[in-house]
Amino acid sequence: MDAIIIGFMGSGKTTVTQLLAKKLKVEFFDLDSLIVHYLGQSIDDFFNNNSEEAFREIETKVLKQSVDLNGILATGGGTPIYNFDIIKDMHVPVFLLDAKDETILHRLSKNEGRPLVEKHGLNNIIKLKHERDFIYNELSDYTISTTDKTPIEVSDEIMKLLSR
């Protein structure tokens, strides 16, 4: 991996990582997409019939398989929480995309098919974000706010940091 992008759901990980990979002319990998390919079904469908613990076991397995891929990896929002040591041991720059609570709520209110939003509801999802913030910050080498920036601006900022 050339870099890993982490952050809470709705922070812009997938969009920014796609742009960044295109600019750097490297492969884009979305861990959730790799998991869907591994499962042969959507994550939402998997959660309908399985526990979060079962999902996290598969997530860890797929993350370990992605260690040797060349490109930029966007993780799921919970991936760093359950796989801190694996990500740390990858020895690549880790970028945390962060956004204000109001921004996250606005973005998530427009999306469906997020099992944790359905489980916790929008009212409790920010509490979950705050619980995860400490680990995100511990794991990241760089933190970039996505609240008032376009995905292009965020990807440009990451490119500048990578070129140092």
Nearest to 35 by CA among 49, 14, 56: 56
107-111 mean pLDDT:
71
52-60 mean pLDDT:
93
Whether 27 and 72 have beta carbons less than 8 Å apart is answered as: yes
| Res. 112: pLDDT tops 80 | no
10-31 mean pLDDT:
92
Cα distances (Å, whole numbers) of residue 74 to 3, 37, 101, 159: 9, 15, 20, 15
pLDDT-derived band at 86 (thresholds 50, 70, 90) equals very high
Q: What is the mean pLDDT of the chain?
A: 89
pLDDT-derived band at 106 (thresholds 50, 70, 90) equals confident
Helix (H) or strand (E) holding 86: helix 84-88
* CA–CA dist 7, 96 (Å, integer): 5
| Angle 103-32-122 from CA coordinates, rounded to 5° | 35
Predicted TM-score of the model (pTM) = 0.89
Helix axes 151-162, 13-24, angle to 10 degrees: 50
- At 114 the pLDDT is 63
Give every CB contact of residue 164 below 8 A, 6+ residues apart in sequence.
Answer: none
Domains of the chain (ranges plus CATH)? 3-157 (3.40.50.300)
